[in-house]
A and B are shown apart, each in its own frame.
Chain A
Amino acid sequence: MDINLFTLQSECQWCIEPHGNMRVPAIIYANEALIRDMDDKVHEQISNVATLPGIVGAAYAMPDAHWGYGFPIGGVAAFDPAEGGVISAGGVGFDISCGVRTLLTGLTRQQIEEVKSPLADLLFQRIPAGVGSTGRIVLSSQEMDAMLEGGAQWAVAQGYGRAEDLERIEEHGRMEGAIPANVSDQAKKRQRKEMGTLGSGNHYLEVQHVTAIYDEEIAKGYGIQVGDVVVSIHCGSRGLGHQIGTEFLKQMAIAAGQYGISLPDRELACAPIDSPVGQTYLGAMRAGINCALANRQIITHLVREAFNELFPGIELPLLYDVSHNTCKVEDHVVDGRKRRLFVHRKGATRAFGPGHPDLPEALRPYGQPVLIGGTMGTASYILSGTRENEALSFSSACHGAGRSMSRHQATRTWRGREVIDELASRGILIRSPSYRGVAEEAPGAYKDVSAVVEAAHQANLARKVARVEPLVCIKG
């Protein structure tokens, strides 16, 4: 993008002054190189978000922002229902509550190296991944509703994981206010055989080792040090979330006109929070969040089972579970006044700072772990939320690297087999049902995650704590 389109407010804060129908400014957090590389669509889309009724403060974009649907991916916006604020299906995205969770293993790299290949095979065999893969758990209609209401709490009650996992999941593993009846039969049918599956595309399960620590004190608080092995899971609400997104996008596109909301882009489809459509979506979307939390909880159980075969008695406690496609009701201080807001994060991670009451006691002194997914050939990062971010972007941070190359271009550039061989020569084992899928997700098709994380750190959105690199990657 042309940097002359912005007013530079600080080293990493680029402002688009309100123009046209914008109700508030739009702010992008990034360094100059990232801004120059960003798609022009980010400017257009984040400016469009700033036109929506009831938006509070500013429309924000994270350092990894790229062209999305209505909202840019990496977009954050908060709305006040008392001021006609809206809720947007596009502002949440198709993969409701897609997110990352990280498990601690207490193992060292050396211990993994001794069993790396059988471990990769075992994980690939146990965790269903890829297009059309089905889980072992098929839910009846009553069980489906209980899962949609109970989230990870439901999963734990069914024997998937342990009670102590729950405090390390946003919302303690269960999103309040989910209404399973608001989720269509089609969405439920699409989910019936997909519980405990990873999905495809950029979703993965990785065994990673910690290669750098940037903040000793916080790292110690999180229980990680250089050489430690962790397991990270990136996936979402599967077919159920996708179907809810699809259905409400259409309903809201039609409803917006009825409520007199003029949309600069159809994909910004939204409805007033207090309207019947808005409330119905809220109940369904929250059920979608619970589906994603239950799904990651079941996969966690499968991972623990697999590890226990090779390391009997191993526990794999949960470090944290973050979602990056959500709309949540949160209290934020705006202009000195506490307000209850509906915060949309599309491809952005919640990042509460130290002392936040929603964090479990063990993590409260350090701030919320912010888990940033990289590619299968580079690195991922663990950051921590900052107090300062409350005034920057409603406590939100980036979520990943973002693509730099289309899937089509990636398949013309790389062959899946070659990508797998090249990574194997560097000690990274890939297991995937699809060579083409691997080519499309080749590390070179992504932006530099380190640059994104550096910008988030510089902008004070979150603090760098640790860098982790893959040893094994199960790719859907």
Chain B
Amino acid sequence: MTTASWEHFPHDADIGVRGIGATREQAFEQAAVALMAIITEPAKVAPKEMIEIRCSAPNDELLFVDWLNELIYEIATRQMLFSRFEVHIQDHELYAKAWGESMDVTRHQPAVETKGATYTALRVAQDPDGAWRAQCVVDV
């Protein structure tokens, strides 16, 4: 059984996010944690408030970019950070819950803004080891 995890991978100017999980949904959830970790330490973000996110796209990869971009939009307009995610996907329709709290500059020490998720190094697939990996580069 794959352990759910996330990591960053290098890009010249920006930063790559990768979520790993036993399911596609789990990989999407972990990649969202990786996205938050660009901005702050996810452990510093209390899952106090819940918001809902819906999006759809013609395939898994475009759906993954849409998912991250919806989160980037919510961070920017609600001035919130998130730390816990629950993703459901059916027929390329994504429904998710994200838990977090209002941004506190002193406590969260946000390092950099996320401008948008890109199609660079974009990949969503189940690898031969059984793990799902979802990744792309995020412009900061």
Contacts and interface: CB of A to CB of B under 8 A. Distances in A.
A132 B79 contact: yes
The contact size tier of chain B is 35 or more
A242 to B, nearest CB: 4
A130 B66 CA distance: 25
B12 A39 contact: yes
Contacts of A41: 12
A407 B120 contact: no
Interface in B1-32: 8, 10-15
Interface of B: 8, 10-15, 38-39, 57-58, 62, 65-66, 69, 72-73, 76-77, 79, 103, 105, 109-113, 115-120, 122, 137, 139-140
Interface stretch (A46-54, A66-74, A358-366): A66-74
Given A133-B105, A407-B112, A433-B109, 16 more contacts: A68-B12, A130-B110, A131-B110, A132-B105, A134-B79, A250-B62, A250-B65, A267-B118, A269-B119, A403-B12, A408-B10, A409-B10, A434-B109, A436-B111, A437-B112, A440-B111
A133 B11 CA distance: 26
Given A131-B39, A132-B105, A434-B109, A245 B115 contact: yes
Interface residues of A, number: 48
A433 B109 CA distance: 7
A220 interface: no
A193 to B, nearest CB: 8
Contact of B73 (A190, A249, A265, A266): A190
B100 to A, nearest CB: 13
A200 B119 contact: no
A182 interface: no
B123 to A, nearest CB: 11
11 contacts: A67-B12, A69-B118, A93-B139, A250-B66, A253-B62, A253-B119, A267-B120, A402-B12, A407-B15, A433-B109, A433-B110
Nearest to A73: B13
B65 A190 contact: no
A440 B112 contact: yes
